[in-house]
Structure 1
Amino acid sequence: MPQSDPISSPQNPRIKNLLKLQQKSSERRQQQLTILEGHRELIIACQAGAVVDALFVCPELATESQLQELATMLGEQAEWFSVSKAVFEKVAYREGSDGVLALVRPPQHTLESLVLPANPLLLVLEAVEKPGNLGAILRTADAAQADAVIICDPRTDLYNPNAIRSSIGCIFTVPTVATSRPELLAWCARRGIRTYAAALTDQARPYTEFDFRGPTAFVMGTEADGLTPALMHACDQTIIIPMAGYIDSLNVSTATAILTFEAVRQRR
């Protein structure tokens, strides 16, 4: 729990560093830190084993019960700093903040470090660029207990504060790996993981025709462009979610959820 007087100047070096970490992915990479805002998100991250370096709280916004819960969970793990409301509102990156913001060390997962069961369920996203889509898919992966989310050739920082926010901290509960297309395909081949490209092509077959109880990776493209031809053609099968209306596609996070929970249904 913070014992000192609140930080009340936006020129405080710690506050200036928070703003740099919030705004620049290069700073996050260099310092190996990211920003996580929100009591609920921080609790989820801590329960998943996230390492918290520092905690900034605004006593005017955070409740006593929230602070007590964090104190019990974190113990002496992190430095605590009290921040005035005016300063906290400068570093908070969402409206209606609950007065809790943490500096967290992102886990460093690789394909080879993943510990997988015999029949893993994996979600692969190619060139993801919208933090909101990444966050929504991570929530699906957490809810379905998928074994990992793999980002192939990412266009966004996986630990962008907005991705963490939209995932409600689930980026810490699901192993998340950034890799390249060749590395992904070679790794899947070595592991005997069958890859299913979700794409609107003449060769695509309805997802309901397939058995997803074995080692499975759903491969999803971007909202604007879908999958690149190189990755789509390299996958074992091309699948589609049949559309009965006028539109021919769904939001990538919605499509991922449909496929993922079909696999979960089959495995039950």
Structure 2
Amino acid sequence: MPDAISSPHNPRIKNLLRLQQKASERREQGLTIIEGLRELTIARGAGVVVPAVFVCAELLPEAGQRQLRQVLDDATEWFDVSKAVFEKVAYREGSDGVLALARPPQRRLADLELPQNPLLLVLEAVEKPGNLGAVLRTADAAQADAVIVCDPRTDLYNPNAIRASIGCVFTVPVVATSRPELLSWCQQHGIRTYAAALTPQARPYTDYDFRGPTALLMGTEADGLTPELIAACDETIIIPMRGYIDSLNVSTATAVLTFEAVRQREVADMQRGGR
């Protein structure tokens, strides 16, 4: 067995750092980084190709290594890494000693295979990987049909978004697009668009019926949705605030609206089943 990589100047280690730090490198190489056995297991279950894995035996016990080998296939290169070097490339505290190169899927709107009655979550100009990751966890939990990121300011497979989503970025179809393409595509597919925005014409989300083809649109925490996108949507909705603040964290607000849509659909299914 080859010796563990023990130098931070090793070309593979230097490339890991470039991929962590630069979206341009991730785009050019068609790769991203997954840290953590749990996240990697979820990604592999979703069919993500993993060209290489870097493992620190001091951090990952033998049982974990056996589990990792079961997750990977024969095409994945395995590199042992010293603890000192691994700690330089790990991007979170308390790492379990697993870091992998992954080839994330590249999708367009046209690639989405929608059911007859889709539920879609749309984020405009999201720039914080943590917010994107949290919304992806909601989408996975609610079994939303896709997350669409309109004019993103962070790449979809930023390592921190993968970490924040606990790998759910691979379990939910994710697409980046532009505002005109999004609106045209929703219209073509008969998808009703609901803009979450604090405007005079907005009505409480509980006033609406989300049982049909639905896209819930959310903006950034700092600026909200752009006026152009709000004006182009079919409806404008709001979560009534009963305290001093006038808004929620975007991931929290997305969860509230998403699970209301899920609730309505489940009630409708039960009513149909009881007939």
What's the TM-score once normalised by structure 1's chain length?
0.98
Determine the structure 2 residue equivalent to 1:256.
Answer: 254
Q: Distance in 1 between matches of 2:107 and 2:142?
A: 20
Q: Distance in 2 between matches of 1:238 and 1:77?
A: 49
Q: Secondary structure at the match of 1:238?
A: strand
CA deviation string 1:200-247 (max 9, x = no partner): 111001101111111000000000000000001000000000111111
Determine the structure 1 residue equivalent to 2:245.
Answer: 247
Matched residue type, 1:145: Q
Determine the structure 2 residue equivalent to 1:54.
Answer: 52
Q: Secondary structure at the match of 1:140?
A: helix
1:204 aligns with 2:202: yes
Cα deviation for residue 57 of structure 1 reads 0.3
CA deviation string 1:107-151 (max 9, x = no partner): 011100000100100000000001110000000000000000000
Cα deviation for residue 5 of structure 1 reads 1.4
Matched residue type, 2:212: G
Matched residue type, 2:36: G
Determine the structure 2 residue equivalent to 1:93.
Answer: 91
Determine the structure 2 residue equivalent to 1:120.
Answer: 118
Determine the structure 1 residue equivalent to 2:188.
Answer: 190
Cα deviation for residue 75 of structure 1 reads 2.5
Q: Secondary structure at the match of 2:64?
A: helix
Q: Secondary structure at the match of 1:151?
A: strand
Determine the structure 1 residue equivalent to 2:26.
Answer: 28
Q: Distance in 1 between matches of 2:209 and 2:199?
A: 20
Q: Distance in 2 between matches of 1:67 and 1:192?
A: 48
Determine the structure 2 residue equivalent to 1:78.
Answer: 76
Q: Secondary structure at the match of 1:246?
A: coil
The alignment yields a C-alpha RMSD, in angstroms, of 0.7
Matched residue type, 2:120: L
Determine the structure 2 residue equivalent to 1:44.
Answer: 42
Partner of residue 15 from structure 2, selected from 5, 14, 17:
17
Q: Distance in 1 between matches of 2:227 and 2:123?
A: 14
Q: Distance in 1 between matches of 2:96 and 2:82?
A: 13
Partner of residue 156 from structure 1, selected from 154, 157, 161:
154
Cα deviation for residue 65 of structure 1 reads 1.6
Partner of residue 134 from structure 1, selected from 132, 135, 139:
132
Cα deviation for residue 158 of structure 1 reads 1.1
Sequence identity (%): 77
Q: Secondary structure at the match of 1:170?
A: coil
Cα deviation for residue 77 of structure 1 reads 2.9
Determine the structure 1 residue equivalent to 2:270.
Answer: none
Structure 2: unaligned runs, 5 residues or longer: 267-275
Q: Distance in 1 between matches of 2:226 and 2:256?
A: 21
Cα deviation for residue 70 of structure 1 reads 1.6
Q: Distance in 2 between matches of 1:233 and 1:137?
A: 24
Matched residue type, 1:43: T
Q: Secondary structure at the match of 2:111?
A: coil
Matched residue type, 1:41: E
1:106 aligns with 2:104: yes
Q: How many residues align?
A: 266
Cα deviation for residue 64 of structure 1 reads 1.4
Determine the structure 1 residue equivalent to 2:212.
Answer: 214
Cα deviation for residue 38 of structure 1 reads 0.6
Q: Distance in 2 between matches of 1:225 and 1:105?
A: 33
Q: Distance in 2 between matches of 1:260 and 1:139?
A: 12
Structure 1: unaligned runs, 5 residues or longer: none
Q: Secondary structure at the match of 2:74?
A: coil
Q: Distance in 1 between matches of 2:7 and 2:245?
A: 52
